[in-house]
């Protein structure tokens, strides 16, 4: 939650945001990588809830979380969500919500285009893969609100940036970002 942290530096100048925070480092040798793998590919939703709650408890009482009106998870395309059975970012968001009592807002930010996985793509390929795939259905819902955009891992920031472009259709919106892990 320190200013000018890795996530804030990575996202700087790409879209307007208030703050960005990550819970821990994501690496092959670290503890988070196998947990995220279990969450996403072995349908262990309770891991997402637990990590979201721990992150929320860490943020509780901070200047970072205090002004947030809604927690908004990065959406999956309906086809991908049906295939996986759930949205891992939503599970993390629900854990954050449980710890902070900030409501989760689902269904307004949507992934309108199905795209291939971001795994093993370069920074440029990642941006091309997500450009224009998100939409905001009801911009007035977030007008003048401060939302916390939540995802599991930040690698290049392309997915968060694409979400932000859709969210910025809402007049007066303020965006902060939270992810469980950051890839160095």
- Predicted confidence band of residue 146 (pLDDT cuts 50, 70, 90): very high
Contact between 72 and 121 under an 8 Å Cβ cutoff? The reply is no
Single out the residue of 136, 150, 37 nearest to residue 93, CA to CA. Answer: 150
- Single pTM value for the model: 0.91
Residue 34 has pLDDT above 60, yes or no: yes
Question: pLDDT digit string (tens) for 50-102?
Answer: 999 999 999 998 999 999 999 999 999 889 899 889 999 999 999 999 999 99
Q: Do the domain assignments include residue 62? A: yes
How confident is the model at residue 94, as a pLDDT? 98
How confident is the model at residue 80, as a pLDDT? 87
Q: Do the domain assignments include residue 49? A: yes
How confident is the model at residue 25, as a pLDDT? 86
Cα gap 70→149, rounded to integer Å:
9
Residue 177 has pLDDT above 60, yes or no: yes
4-15 mean pLDDT:
93
How confident is the model at residue 40, as a pLDDT? 86
Cα gap 164→69, rounded to integer Å:
16
Question: String of b and e for 84-115 (b: at least 16 CB within 10 Å)?
Answer: eeebbbbbbbbbbbebbebebbbebbbbeeeb
Q: Do the domain assignments include residue 1? A: no
Residue 153 has pLDDT above 70, yes or no: yes
For the domain that residue 24 is a member of, what is the CATH number?
A: 3.40.50.2020
Q: Do the domain assignments include residue 135? A: yes
178-182 mean pLDDT:
94
Domain boundaries, position 171:
6-183
- The mean pLDDT value of the chain amounts to 90
Q: Do the domain assignments include residue 161? A: yes
Q: Do the domain assignments include residue 102? A: yes
How confident is the model at residue 26, as a pLDDT? 83
Q: Do the domain assignments include residue 44? A: yes
Q: What are phi and psi of 107, to 5 degrees?
A: 90, -10
Cα gap 74→77, rounded to integer Å:
10
Residue 26: HSE in the Cβ half-sphere, 13 Å Cα cutoff: 19
Overall number of domains in the chain: 1
- Predicted confidence band of residue 29 (pLDDT cuts 50, 70, 90): confident
Residue 4 has pLDDT above 70, yes or no: yes
147-175 mean pLDDT:
95
Residue 3 burial (10 A CB sphere; 0-12, 13-18, 19+): exposed
Q: Do the domain assignments include residue 76? A: yes
Share of the chain above pLDDT 90, in %: 69
Single out the residue of 136, 130, 134, 131 nearest to residue 169, CA to CA. Answer: 136
């Amino acid at each position: 939650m320190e200013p000018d942290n890795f996530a804030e530096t990575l996202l700087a100048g790409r879209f307007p945001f208030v703050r960005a925070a990550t819970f821990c480092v994501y690496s092959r040798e670290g503890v988070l990588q196998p947990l995220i793998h279990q969450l996403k590919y072995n349908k262990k939703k309770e891991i997402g809830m637990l990590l979201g709650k721990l992150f929320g408890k860490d943020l509780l009482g901070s200047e970072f979380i205090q002004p947030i009106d809604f927690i908004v998870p990065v959406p999956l395309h309906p086809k991908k969500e049906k295939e996986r059975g759930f949205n891992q970012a939503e599970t993390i968001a629900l854990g954050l919500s449980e710890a902070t009592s900030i409501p989760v807002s689902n269904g307004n930010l949507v992934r309108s285009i199905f795209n291939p996985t971001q795994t093993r793509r370069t920074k440029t390929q990642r941006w091309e893969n997500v450009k224009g795939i998100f939409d905001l259905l009801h911009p007035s819902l977030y007008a003048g609100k401060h939302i916390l955009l939540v995802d599991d891992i930040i690698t290049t920031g392309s997915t968060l940036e694409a979400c932000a472009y859709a969210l910025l259709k809402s007049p007066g919106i303020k965006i902060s970002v939270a992810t469980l892990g950051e890839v160095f």
